[in-house]
Structure 1
Amino acid sequence: MNSFLEIDRPYVIAEIGGNHEGDMDFARKLLLDAAEAGADAVKFQAYSPDKIVNKLQDPERHQHFGKFTLSLEQYRELAEMCVEVEVDFMASVWDMGAFRFLDPLIAVHKIGSGDLTNYRLLKPMAETGKPICIATAMADMEEVLAAVAFVRDVNPAIVESGGLCVMHCVAMYGDPRDEYANLAAIDALAAALPPQVVVGYSDHTLGNVAVKVAVERGARVIETHFTDDNSRDFRDHHFAHTKEELNDFVVYLRRRQEMLGRAVKVPVFEVETSDRIAEFRRAVYLRRDCLAGTVVSEDLLTTLRPLRGISASEYFKVVGKVASRDLVAYEPLDWGDFK
Structure 2
Amino acid sequence: MKTYIIAEAGVNHNGDVNLAKKLVDIAVKAEANAVKFQTWITENVMSKTAPKAEYQIVNTGSQESQFEMEKKLELTFDEFIELKNYCDENRIEFLSTPFDFESADFLINSLKLSTIKIPSGEITNAPLLLYIAKHHKNIILSTGMATVAEIQQALGVIAFGLINDKTSPSIEAFESAYISEQGQQLLKERVRLLHCTTEYPAPIDEINLLAMKSMSKVFGLPVGYSDHTEGIEISIAAVALGATIIEKHITYDKNAEGPDHAASIEPLELNKMVESIRNVEKSIGNGIKIPSKSELKNREIARKSLVASEAIKSGEYFSDANLAIKRPGSGMSPFYYWELQNQKATRDFNIDEEIN
Please, which of 42, 45, 52 is the counterpart of residue 52 of structure 1? 45
* Deviation at residue 187 of structure 1 after TM alignment: 4.3
Please, which of 146, 159, 169 is the counterpart of residue 152 of structure 1? 159
* Deviation at residue 176 of structure 1 after TM alignment: 4.3
State the TM-score, normalizing by the size of structure 1: 0.86
Mark the runs of 5 or more structure 1 residues left unpaired by the alignment.
Answer: 1-7, 335-339
Mark the runs of 5 or more structure 2 residues left unpaired by the alignment.
Answer: 52-63, 163-182
SS at structure 2 position matched to 1:200: strand
Q: 2:62 aligned with 1:34, yes or no? A: no
Q: 2:117 aligned with 1:110, yes or no? A: yes
Partner Cα distance (2:146, 2:331) in 1:
65
State the TM-score, normalizing by the size of structure 2: 0.82
1:88 equivalent in structure 2: 93
The percentage of aligned residue pairs carrying the same residue is: 29
Please say if residues 79 and 105 of structure 1, whose CA atoms lie closer than 8 Å, have aligned partners that are also in contact. Answer: no
Q: 2:303 aligned with 1:296, yes or no? A: no
2:169 equivalent in structure 1: none
CA RMSD of aligned residues (A): 2.4
Partner Cα distance (2:204, 2:309) in 1:
61
Partner Cα distance (2:119, 2:7) in 1:
14
Partner Cα distance (1:260, 1:214) in 2:
12
Partner Cα distance (1:47, 1:306) in 2:
69
The residue type equivalent to 2:212 in the other structure is: I
Partner Cα distance (1:187, 1:216) in 2:
12
Please, which of 309, 314, 318 is the counterpart of residue 287 of structure 1? 309
Partner Cα distance (2:337, 2:49) in 1:
87
Please say if residues 310 and 332 of structure 1, whose CA atoms lie closer than 8 Å, have aligned partners that are also in contact. Answer: yes
Q: 2:12 aligned with 1:19, yes or no? A: yes
Say if 1:81 and 1:331 are closer, same or farther in 2 by CA, change over 3 A: same
Partner Cα distance (1:203, 1:330) in 2:
58
Please, which of 71, 79, 91 is the counterpart of residue 76 of structure 2? 71
Please say if residues 130 and 160 of structure 2, whose CA atoms lie closer than 8 Å, have aligned partners that are also in contact. Answer: no
Q: Which moved more, 1:214-223 or 1:295-304?
A: 214-223
SS at structure 2 position matched to 1:299: coil
Partner Cα distance (2:326, 2:79) in 1:
73
The correspondence of residues 96-245 of structure 1 with structure 2, limited to 5 A, is 96-103=101-108, 104-155=111-162, 156=183, 157-161=185-189, 163-173=190-200, 176-191=202-217, 193-195=218-220, 197-245=221-269
Deviations 1:74-97 (A, max 9, x none): 212211222222221111112233
Partner Cα distance (1:273, 1:24) in 2:
55
* Deviation at residue 280 of structure 1 after TM alignment: 2.0
Deviations 1:229-276 (A, max 9, x none): 11112121110111111111111101111222331111112x2235x3
Partner Cα distance (2:105, 2:350) in 1:
87
1:266 equivalent in structure 2: 290
Partner Cα distance (2:283, 2:90) in 1:
28
SS at structure 2 position matched to 1:77: helix
SS at structure 2 position matched to 1:66: helix
Partner Cα distance (2:142, 2:70) in 1:
20
The residue type equivalent to 2:259 in the other structure is: R
Please say if residues 303 and 329 of structure 2, whose CA atoms lie closer than 8 Å, have aligned partners that are also in contact. Answer: yes
The residue type equivalent to 2:155 in the other structure is: V
Partner Cα distance (1:285, 1:14) in 2:
59
Say if 1:309 and 1:222 are closer, same or farther in 2 by CA, change over 3 A: closer
Tell me the number of residue pairs that the alignment of Structure 1 and Structure 2 aligns: 321
Say if 1:302 and 1:56 are closer, same or farther in 2 by CA, change over 3 A: closer
Deviations 1:201-229 (A, max 9, x none): 22222222332333344332121211111
Q: Which moved more, 1:109-118 or 1:206-215?
A: 206-215
SS at structure 1 position matched to 2:270: helix
Please say if residues 239 and 281 of structure 2, whose CA atoms lie closer than 8 Å, have aligned partners that are also in contact. Answer: no
SS at structure 2 position matched to 1:67: helix
Partner Cα distance (1:320, 1:91) in 2:
77
Please say if residues 131 and 158 of structure 1, whose CA atoms lie closer than 8 Å, have aligned partners that are also in contact. Answer: no
Please say if residues 172 and 180 of structure 1, whose CA atoms lie closer than 8 Å, have aligned partners that are also in contact. Answer: no
Please say if residues 45 and 92 of structure 1, whose CA atoms lie closer than 8 Å, have aligned partners that are also in contact. Answer: yes
SS at structure 1 position matched to 2:83: helix
Please say if residues 116 and 147 of structure 1, whose CA atoms lie closer than 8 Å, have aligned partners that are also in contact. Answer: yes
